[in-house]
Amino acid sequence: MDVKDFTTFPALIRGLAARHHETHLYPMAARIGVSSGTVQQWENGMIKAPTIPALRLLADAYELDLGDLINLVSRPKSRPPGGRR
């Protein structure tokens, strides 16, 4: 799975869960070594910028490029037309 195929971190989390765990988040949390609540917050966008150590755990568990993960979570968010800056 290539991180560059995803436009948001939550989309990546959903993609990993779908590909590896039949969309279930708990097995992902167990595989990474974080709480299921953390993975759920990643998936629903409540945690917008995971820590580097958490990203490293994710990269190691799913053989993802850490640099690509950092770039994904660091992307500026697009604003709707007419949105304030």
Domain total for the chain?
Answer: 1
- What is the per-residue pLDDT for 18? 97
Per-residue pLDDT of 34-80, as tens digits, reads 999 999 999 999 998 899 999 999 999 999 999 999 999 998 766 55
Evaluate whether residue 23 is within a structural domain: yes
Q: What angle do CA 9, 73, 24 make, to 5 degrees?
A: 25
> Where would I find the H helices in the chain?
9-21, 26-32, 36-44, 52-62, 66-74
For residue 83, being part of any structural domain is answered with no
Q: What is the CATH number of the domain that holds 62?
A: 1.10.260
Whether 40 is covered by a domain: the verdict is yes
Question: What count of other Cβ atoms lies within 10 Å of the Cβ of residue 81?
Answer: 5
